[in-house]
Each structure stands twice: as structure tokens, then as C-alpha cells.
Amino acid sequence: MKNFIAVILIITNFGANAQTTDSWPVFRGNQNLIGVSNTVIHDSPRLLWAFQTEDNIKSSPVVADEKIVVGSTDGFVYCLDMNGKIFWKFETDNAIEAPALLLNNVVYVGNLSGMLYALDLNSGEKLWEYETDGQIIGSANWWSDEKSTYIFVGSYDYYLHCVDAKTGQMKWKYESDNYINGAAACINGKAVCGGCDGFLHIVDLTTGKLDKKIDVDTYVAGSAAVEHDKAYIGNYDGRFFQVDLKTDKTTWAWEHETTKLQFIASPALLGNRVLTANHNKFLYCFDKNTGEKLWEYNTGRQVEASPVIAGDKVISANMRGDLAIVNLSDGKLIWSYEIGSQIISNPAVAAGKIIVGAFDGNVYCFGNP
């Protein structure tokens, strides 16, 4: 009976926090930042609509409750319905490059002035704001204890900030040794983030105290994907590796024998496969346990957008503006579409749709009606 109750509690807890087929509430899909969507994408999606903002889009779109939220470098946060019609827009005082986080009908998003905003998802009304001392480039993430929910976000002021989700009051801030560019993953009560100081930081989310930091050679522009006691991360020197969070050691590492270009994209992780993309134009798939390269796909141009896995497909975008779907099994091309304008942010993949922003200021939505 005790075992039965334990199983029910686990299922209930998972259901309360799980990403649904219709949602993509944080820029890599869930708190672990593994880049996996639970929806089904057809082999030949069509362009359904495009929505124009007033400047280029570097922020990744997010989706929840049949609403799409995306920031633009015009300084506005836009909320659209699934047909591309605007619900509301909210003006901030600077460009927005950070993806938003959608949680409990609230939008949490930072801008280049270092302001973190909480907005009502249904109305766009500002609930609170919190000021850091440096620009915010990466997405916020979230964590709950038995009493409260907290939002944590990195800043160019060298700090990882943690605030109360309801009030915006600071709970703690943790100081690294350089800019924090990407998002911090959340797993087992810990925040896991890389930074421009060349370390992977593991921070206790209850106290804000450093649990450990692991040397990853040089600075990390993207975010780590975490699963169990392993983190997967690429750095600016062109190395991609698995880090054991228990032993503080690199379990395996891979680098191209000649190009050695930077990894800006964050990894995607499903089953025994981990995927990432490099400035050398290639999307890569590795065996997550051994680091063996399983396949590669030449996208045709440098890649900074993080890949997304949806079922047996991988969605990837490059800096020429090509959006592609390839087979997860072998990397063979299934479908591609030439947007023709630079894409550096990963798509939101939810409700059978691919939603992506580009440098021409448009949000594009692909799917099957």
C-alpha cells in the first residue's frame, strides 16, 4: 500500500509540472532544458501565418494556454493567439533578447536594461519588476518548495538572481566570476548554469549557496541540458561534452578535428541521443553515454539556434534563415523551408506547430490546418 501511494504521489507531482502537447512554456521546453516537445509534427508543414514586429527577433517564442509570447528588440513583449492575432503587447525600456517563461498564467521576461518583468498572461498587465545590474540575455527558470515558487535568472552583473514568483522580492543572489549568458537548468533542487568564467555552477536553490563548480575550460554561451546526474554542454572553444555532476569530471568530450568553432546552441536530449549544433554549419547527434558521433547534418550555414526534438523528428534552424526537419534516427532531411532571414533562437514546438522568430521581425508559424 505504501508503494502504491508513493507511485501515485510521483505521478501526481509529474502531472502537475509536466509539459503538455500544447505547451512550450520555457525556451527549451521544461525545467531540465532538454529541448524535447511532446507534440507530433507532420512531415510537410505549411506556413500558416506570420506576425510582424517592429525590429528583429532574437528571443525564442514560448507557448501556454493557447497563447504565444515572444520578445522583440523593439522593446515590446507580444502575446498572440495560435492564429497569429495579437492579444496584447507590453512596452519595456530596452531590447528583449531573452526568451520568456510562462508559469501559472504569468509571463516572466528580462530585457537588456537588466529588468525582469512579471506580466499577467491574459491581460499583459505588469505585476512587478525586479532590477539587476546587467543585461538579461537568458531565459528565466522556476523552482518550487513546499510553500512558494521562485524564479531564477542570470544577468551580466555576474549574478544568478532568485526571486519570489508572486512578489518579485529577492530570495538570494549567487555571484559567479563573469557574465551569465544562458538559462540555468533546474534539477533535484539545484540550478545548473554555465557562464563566461569557464565553469559549470551548481547552486542550491534553497539557500543560493554554491554546491560545486566544475571547470569546462572556456566560456559557455548556451545552456546545459541536464538529466539525472549528467549535464551536456558545449563551449566557445568547440568542445561538446558530458559532465558527471557527482564526480565533477568530464565523462566524454568531442571536438571537430579541424574547425574547432564555438557551440552557441543548447543541446537536446532524448533516450540515448543528445543533439547540438555548431558554428561550422553542422547539426550533430551523439550517443549520450559514449560520445560517439551517430550522424551529422550540414545545414548550409552557421547555427546558433538550439535544435528541438519532437517524436522521431529534429527541428533545426540556421543563420541563413533555413528551417529544417530531419530524422532523429539518421539525420536525413525530411523537409525544409527558406525563411530568408537570420534565425538565432530555437523554435517553440507545440500543438502540432513550429513557431519561430527571425531577424526580419516576423514570428512565423508552420503546421497543418
Helix (H, G, I), strand (E, B) or coil at 91: strand
pLDDT tens column, 82-139: 999 999 999 999 999 999 999 999 999 999 999 999 999 999 999 999 999 999 999 9
Mean of the pLDDT values across residues 194-207? 93
Mean of the pLDDT values across residues 280-285? 98
Residue 346 lies inside a defined structural domain of this protein: yes
Residue 342 lies inside a defined structural domain of this protein: yes
**pLDDT, position 356:** 98
Residue 9 lies inside a defined structural domain of this protein: no
CATH number of residue 193's parent domain:
2.130.10.10
Distance, in Å, from the CA atom of 347 to the CA atom of 318, rounded to the nearest integer, reads 11
Mean of the pLDDT values across residues 207-226? 91
Domain that holds residue 350: 20-367
The set of residues, in sequence order, having a beta carbon less than 8 Å from that of 127 and lying 6+ positions away, is: 106, 118, 119, 120, 168
Mean of the pLDDT values across residues 227-250? 94
Please check the confidence at residue 255 and state whether its pLDDT lies above 50: yes
Residue 217 lies inside a defined structural domain of this protein: yes
pLDDT band at 162 (very low <50, low <70, confident <90, very high): very high
Assess contact for 100 and 62: CB atoms under 8 A.
yes
Lowest mean pLDDT among 25-29, 257-261, 290-294: 257-261
Q: What mean pLDDT is reported for the chain? A: 93
Residue 112 lies inside a defined structural domain of this protein: yes
**pLDDT, position 218:** 83
Strand order in the sheet with 268-270: 268-270, 273-277, 282-287, 293-298
Residue 123 lies inside a defined structural domain of this protein: yes
Mean of the pLDDT values across residues 31-44? 96
Please check the confidence at residue 149 and state whether its pLDDT lies above 90: yes
pLDDT tens column, 2-34: 333 333 333 333 333 456 889 999 999 999 999
Residue 139 lies inside a defined structural domain of this protein: yes
Lowest mean pLDDT among 17-26, 35-44, 53-62, 183-192: 17-26
Domain count, the chain: 1
Residue 71 lies inside a defined structural domain of this protein: yes
**pLDDT, position 348:** 98
Distance, in Å, from the CA atom of 319 to the CA atom of 20, rounded to the nearest integer, reads 29
**pLDDT, position 84:** 98
Dihedral sign computed on CA atoms, order 210, 211, 212, 216: negative
The set of residues, in sequence order, having a beta carbon less than 8 Å from that of 128 and lying 6+ positions away, is: 117, 118, 167, 168
